[in-house]
Amino acid sequence: MTVTALRSSVITFHQDPFLVDPASSYRFLEDGLVVMADGKIVAVDPYSEAAVDAASGIVGVPLTVTHYPDSVICAGFIDCHVHYPQTQMIGAFGEQLLEWLNKYTFIAEQQFADKSHADTVSRVFLRELLRAGTTTAAVYCTVHPESVDALFEESERFNTRMIAGKVLMDRHAPDALLDTAERGYDESKALLEKWHGRGRQLYCITPRFAASSTDDQLAAAARLWKEHPGTYMQTHLAENTGEIDWVRDLFPQRSSYLDVYDHAGLTGPRAIFGHAVHMDDVDFACCHRTGSALAHCPTSNLFLGSGLFKMSEAKHIDRPVRVGIGSDIGAGTSFSTLHTLNEAYKVSQMAQGRLTAAHAFYLATRGGAEALYLQDSLGSVAPGYDADLVVLDLAATPLIAFRMGFARDILEKLFVLMTLGDDRAVRATYVAGLPVYDSARDDPFIYPTQAPEPECPSQRLDPSGVRA
């Protein structure tokens, strides 16, 4: 039995702060004990010697407790929309969406026919996720089956939970990236049968967006999804006004962009729609009625000038929609969920909304789990949940450490982290109870099979670089 015990401040969300008083949506322990055994959380209690003894009795072995002072533990971050092949083109000079796809994305994605290239990029991608504290993501691969294998193989090595799939495109893309409705179905089915439910990996049927798939391909994707309950479907929705006009021209019989997917049978539980910037109340009501989820991608929407996501309308109490946060690498400009939440706050300000730290950290943890229908196993720090955690450093930089001295409570501290923080604020990332990323190690990344016995972390370096 592999047992890990951590001591630090702990925050976890158990309700949606958009729908209840935010103060009642979370539990906070100023000094907490989190005990994990065989990949699951078995106890979360205020720290005391008695709590350590009680937890030792539960797991049947004496506990060695790793202490993270000046830190806070929360559930591992969940990225609901990201393109791993675009890791190599993050920061490409901005264009509008459709020009950006043709100038950068489609060129980069053609390289993933080479499995060795896909292997290389997937290794970088998974490590950047873990460096950012992200333990689960809904990931777009490319049209090439090799790209899917590469991503899942690396995820399997880290034991992360990835939801991913082969992109489907049978029109309006370079010939090297096109499949057909039949070949897309067959290749997706073979990948699904290979990977869905293998360890912690889950398969996601992935038509890129309505404009790049014919009616036949959308119907084939819907048929495959229906034939395999428990799998996912992800695509793009209402990101850019030029894209919306194009989809309207391609599907003149449909009342809206979302109606294209709804008519095809691609809405419902475990459907994840990226962006959804330009939505009206009818669209939001459809998402609520069908149980479809939206991924808010603020850094991408700002970078490409796509528009401002209407969070307050999406989460309207009369018909709330499941919403998670997405980095949308590589139009998105950072793997860091903290940085993404910073931009989400600004988008809400511009859209006359209000995104507090409680709302933001809920979206990045339990909200993402609810968007992915994994809220019974991910997104909270509670007994019975998967032991995927991130340890956030409240003194990660001299400025953050100084500012924290004036913070009045945990929500103000979290707001400071999401305003001033980035990957430097991630002290450690635990996957299934093991520290696969630890910023204090010489080699910060290890596969679980290489994980050493838990030990106390090395002392923090002060800003001058001298051991404190």
- Domain containing residue 445: CATH number: 2.30.40.10
63 plus 196 within the same structural domain? no
Domain end among 345, 371, 397: 371
Domain end among 338, 371, 404: 371
Long-range contacts for 315-321 (Cβ within 8 Å, ≥24 apart)? 315/16, 315/18, 315/19, 316/284, 317/18, 317/19, 319/284, 319/285, 319/288, 319/289, 320/16, 320/18, 320/19, 320/288, 321/284, 321/287, 321/288, 321/292, 321/293, 321/294
pTM over cut 0.75: yes
- 123 in a structural domain: yes
Which has the closest alpha carbon to 212: 302, 97, 330, 329?
97
Q: Cis ω on the peptide bond leading into residue 330 (within 30° of 0)? A: yes
The Cα 297–Cα 322 span in angstroms is 14
The token duo for 38 is 């065989």
117 plus 239 within the same structural domain? yes
User: Could you give the 3-state DSSP secondary structure of residue 221?
Assistant: helix
- 50 in a structural domain: yes
CA distances to 190, 371, 434 from 80, in Å: 24, 8, 23
> Block means of pLDDT (10 residues each) for the chain, length 468 residues?
94 98 98 97 97 93 95 98 97 87 94 98 98 98 98 98 98 97 98 98 98 98 98 98 97 98 98 98 98 98 96 97 98 97 97 94 98 98 98 98 97 98 98 97 92 47 31
53 plus 133 within the same structural domain? no
pLDDT of residue 228: 98
First CA to last CA distance, the chain = 34
261 plus 389 within the same structural domain? no
Beta carbons of 152 and 201 less than 8 angstroms apart = yes
Lookup result for tokens 């929705």 = 237
341 plus 385 within the same structural domain? no
The Cα 361–Cα 355 span in angstroms is 10
- 464 in a structural domain: no
Residue 257 belongs to a domain with what CATH number? 3.20.20.140
The set of residues, in sequence order, having a beta carbon less than 8 Å from that of 78 and lying 6+ positions away, is: 134, 135, 136, 137, 324, 325, 364, 365, 368, 369, 371, 372, 378, 379
The token duo for 382 is 């509670």
- 65 in a structural domain: yes
Lookup result for tokens 């991924």 = 295
85 plus 167 within the same structural domain? yes
The set of residues, in sequence order, having a beta carbon less than 8 Å from that of 20 and lying 6+ positions away, is: none
256 plus 360 within the same structural domain? yes
- 468 in a structural domain: no
226 plus 356 within the same structural domain? yes
256 plus 391 within the same structural domain? no
pLDDT of residue 458: 38
Beta carbons of 12 and 381 less than 8 angstroms apart = yes
- 458 in a structural domain: no
109 plus 161 within the same structural domain? yes
User: Could you give the 3-state DSSP secondary structure of residue 105?
Assistant: helix
340 plus 424 within the same structural domain? no
81 plus 113 within the same structural domain? yes
Which has the closest alpha carbon to 97: 355, 358, 304, 364?
304
Q: What angle do CA 444, 446, 447 make, to 5 degrees?
A: 160
- 465 in a structural domain: no
* Count of structural domains, the chain: 2
- 214 in a structural domain: yes
Domain end among 319, 352, 371: 371
Beta carbons of 43 and 34 less than 8 angstroms apart = yes
Residue 27 CB coordination number (10 Å): 15
Q: What angle do CA 197, 236, 144 make, to 5 degrees?
A: 55
> E strand or H helix at 263, and its extent?
helix 257-264
Question: What b/e readout covers 199-223, taking b as 16+ CB neighbours within 10 angstroms?
Answer: ebbbbbbbbbbbbbbbeebbbbbbb
**Burial zone of 343 (CB within 10 Å; 0-12 exposed, 13-18 middle, 19+ buried):** buried
Q: Domain range holding 28?
A: 3-75+380-450
